A and B are shown apart, each in its own frame.
Chain A
Amino acid sequence: MGRFVARRLLQAIPTIFGIMLLTFILTRLSPSDPVTLMVRTNPDITEEDRAALRQALGLNDPLPLQFVHWAFSVARLDFGDSFNYHRPVIQLIAERIPNTLQLSITSLVIALVIAVPLGVLAAFYRGSALDQGIRTVSVFLHAVPVFFLGLLFILFFGIQWRLFPVGSMNVVGESCAWCPDRLWHMVGPAIVGAAGGIALIPRVLRTEVLEILNQDFIRTARSKGLRERMVIVRHVLRNTLIPIVTLFGGILTILVGGSVIIEQVFNWPGLGRLLFEAASNKDYPLVQAAVLVTSLLLVLSYILRDLGYAAVDPRIKVDG
């Protein structure tokens, strides 16, 4: 197992390098001058101030050198200062990560709790009205834009019927992470965020479960007279763990990618909203770091997923 972990981590290095290269190149494509942006609100800046800043920011070096410098600072978690916030970017990101994680994990849990039973049921009652209904719901959720769903939630549940808060993370003065007030505010964004997972999981799971049900050992178990429920518990559910873990990757991408939208619609102070605001303000260091950190988090979660995968599936050779 230790070797597997080490190998998996080694595999991630080129990916991380690629992500860094891509984000660096994309931010350096910019036709605009970062110094101008930094001092844009000050009408009295002199040309000397400008030159000094340019030097201090290392903008006069050749590009490859800038990349190396940048890569080393990134390794030290130094992403520079935000143009807008005048603080180290890493601080800003660190403040927002817990909020995004909290929302994403809750969404993930909701998606699993709702979608896994749906997928199993659809397979067991294959071809029934229930199966059709589940398929319809999942295809519909697949097709509806997340922000449209969010807007509808706010419009009806928030404003029309006043059932749930219309956004934000907590009421003023209640800022603890898991207190009821926070959970209450999370209802909307977490459910809307879970839609992507609820669309994806039952469709895949249904196929997988059907396959398991058709496998010999289940037939054997059934023919031995074991009660149906025991069959399900012992074999089917245990075997569905594998596709579920596999699906984690896709769902995480949906959740993280969708965080910009969800957090914008529901006014959730996470990494996605930070990224959106930074992008609107052309706060390049912050945009660059937000994209990079999010991607690295994804890489990390894929590694964890693969470890989990190796753990639940005895058939996988851990040296693979």
Chain B
Amino acid sequence: MSAPAVTAVPVARPARKHREGFWWDALYGIRHDPATVAAIAVLATLIVLALAADVLSDQIFHTGYTNQNLLNTWGAPSLSDPKYWLGADNLGRSQIVRLLYGARVSLFIGVLGALVSLGMGLSLGVTAGYFRGWWDDIVVWLVTTIANIPILFLLILVGLYFRLDPLSLSILIGMLGWLGIANFARGQTLALRDREFIQAARTVGASPVRIMTRHVLPNILPLMIVLAMVDIGGIILAESALSYLGFGIQPPVPSWGNMLSLSAQYYFLGPHLIIVPGVAITLTVLCLYLIGDGLRDALDPRLRGVGGRRG
């Protein structure tokens, strides 16, 4: 996390001609890994359910995420009415519908946040590794500085001043969470920049931008994407922690974090209100880690343990 000199960074293999082939290898690798396959299946189901939240709540549950029923507050799960399959919250709102919309919010924040940190991490890391010199010093300085401030503290500090909606929150988390990717991208680029194929490109007069986008990036992108995928889980956890403390997504928009935060006040009245979103977060993050792990093993077993946890 801090002094980059300490960790030996494994070097990616040289460029592959066909990116499809690369991913195909990965898929081939995880085909025999039942845990990863199961995780992919579960996650895919979750994504489909989240995307279909509108349709499902309209057609099956006949209620929205804000619709209340004060006659069924803290209702226990019941099979008789679809909308109360997972019970009702303190305002009699359908827990299952809120869970679906919460999935949408949490996954949105996770994916967008990971994309932002992938973008920032790659652009800063690759340029730093390629140009070295003062720019590298600045990037390393930024990385070490931010790495020394616990990310949750930084988020609380910013959450003090700005009311965060899912969009701004994911951008913010992404902007604070690019360190791991930048560090890694920088290390890879440093190792690659003196390889023959890059030196060759340089001698034929290719511009730095071209070299970085055409030669460096394709080599490191797959691993970076795997890292970013694991990051999605970390970001979902960070969001839930922030929402638990009351600085995250504001009600009535449900996120799994603020659903848990709300039900934590009522853990006597509705334990199911804690268990359900808690299990949802755990399951999703678990799937993401398993997939990341599986892909990583398939791509390069040396990468295990890279990428950190937040929150």
Residues of A in contact with B (beta carbons under 8 Å apart):
11, 14-15, 18-19, 22-23, 26-27, 29-32, 139-140, 142-148, 151-152, 154-155, 196, 199-200, 203-204, 206-207, 246, 249-250, 253-254, 256-258, 260-261, 264, 275-276, 279-280, 282, 287, 290-291, 294-295, 298-299, 302, 306, 309, 320
- Measured in the bound complex, the distance between the Cα atoms of B4 and A320 in whole Å is 12
- Chain B residues 257-311 with CB under 8 Å of chain A are 257, 260, 264, 267, 271, 274, 278, 281-286, 288-290, 293, 301-302, 304-305, 308-311
The answer to whether B161 touches A279 (Cβ under 8 A) is no
Give A10 Cβ to nearest chain B Cβ, in Å: 13
The answer to whether B305 touches A261 (Cβ under 8 A) is no
Looking at chain B, what size class is its interface with the partner chain? 35 or more
- Chain B residues 33-78 with CB under 8 Å of chain A are none
The answer to whether A291 touches B286 (Cβ under 8 A) is no
Contacts of A253 in B (CB 8 A): 1, 147, 150, 308
Residue from B158, B245, B282 within 8 A of A143 (CB atoms): B282
Residue from B156, B267, B281 within 8 A of A279 (CB atoms): B156
- Would you give 13 A-B contacts (Cβ < 8 Å), ordered by A? A11-B3, A15-B144, A22-B146, A22-B154, A139-B293, A143-B284, A145-B260, A148-B240, A200-B305, A253-B147, A260-B153, A287-B156, A302-B3
Give B301 Cβ to nearest chain A Cβ, in Å: 8
The answer to whether A320 touches B240 (Cβ under 8 A) is no
Residue from A11, A143, A146 within 8 A of B233 (CB atoms): A143
B151 in the interface (beta carbon within 8 A): yes
Contacts known (A145-B311, A155-B267); A260 close to B156, Cβ less than 8 A = yes
Give B279 Cβ to nearest chain A Cβ, in Å: 9
- Measured in the bound complex, the distance between the Cα atoms of B27 and A19 in whole Å is 42
- Measured in the bound complex, the distance between the Cα atoms of B156 and A23 in whole Å is 12
Contacts known (A155-B267, A246-B7); A258 close to B311, Cβ less than 8 A = yes
B148 in the interface (beta carbon within 8 A): yes
The answer to whether B149 touches A260 (Cβ under 8 A) is no
The answer to whether B274 touches A299 (Cβ under 8 A) is no
Of listed A27, A152, A253, A291, residue having the most chain B CB within 10 A? A253
Count contacts between A and B, CB distance < 8 Å: 172
Residue from B147, B154, B260 within 8 A of A147 (CB atoms): B260
Since A143-B285, A148-B240, A294-B153 are in contact, a sample of 9 more A-B pairs with Cβ atoms closer than 8 Å, ordered by chain A residue number, is A19-B148, A139-B286, A143-B289, A145-B244, A154-B267, A258-B152, A260-B152, A260-B245, A298-B149
The answer to whether A22 touches B145 (Cβ under 8 A) is yes
Contacts of A298 in B (CB 8 A): 148-150
- Considering the complex, give the chain B residue whose CB is closest to the CB of A147: B244
Contacts of A196 in B (CB 8 A): 309
Contacts known (A199-B309, A254-B309); A30 close to B148, Cβ less than 8 A = no
B79 in the interface (beta carbon within 8 A): no
The answer to whether A295 touches B150 (Cβ under 8 A) is yes
Contacts of B286 in A (CB 8 A): 139-140, 142-143
Contacts known (A275-B156, A279-B156, A298-B150); A29 close to B241, Cβ less than 8 A = no
The answer to whether A261 touches B241 (Cβ under 8 A) is yes
Residues of B in contact with A (beta carbons under 8 Å apart):
1-3, 5-7, 141-142, 144-154, 156-161, 233, 237, 240-241, 244-247, 257, 260, 264, 267, 271, 274, 278, 281-286, 288-290, 293, 301-302, 304-305, 308-311
Residue from A15, A32, A147, A203 within 8 A of B304 (CB atoms): A203
The answer to whether A145 touches B150 (Cβ under 8 A) is no
The answer to whether A142 touches B309 (Cβ under 8 A) is yes
The answer to whether A309 touches B271 (Cβ under 8 A) is no
- Measured in the bound complex, the distance between the Cα atoms of B114 and A159 in whole Å is 38
- Measured in the bound complex, the distance between the Cα atoms of B277 and A147 in whole Å is 12
Give A207 Cβ to nearest chain B Cβ, in Å: 5
The answer to whether A203 touches B305 (Cβ under 8 A) is yes
Contacts of B159 in A (CB 8 A): 279
The answer to whether B157 touches A291 (Cβ under 8 A) is yes
What 9 A-B pairs are tightest by C-beta distance, nearest first?
A18-B145, A257-B150, A204-B305, A143-B285, A143-B286, A148-B278, A295-B149, A144-B282, A302-B2
- Considering the complex, give the chain A residue whose CB is closest to the CB of B268: A159
Contacts of B233 in A (CB 8 A): 142-143
- Measured in the bound complex, the distance between the Cα atoms of B161 and A302 in whole Å is 30
Give A285 Cβ to nearest chain B Cβ, in Å: 13
- Measured in the bound complex, the distance between the Cα atoms of B3 and A246 in whole Å is 10
The answer to whether A256 touches B150 (Cβ under 8 A) is yes
Residue from B147, B156, B282 within 8 A of A276 (CB atoms): B156
- Measured in the bound complex, the distance between the Cα atoms of B264 and A302 in whole Å is 35
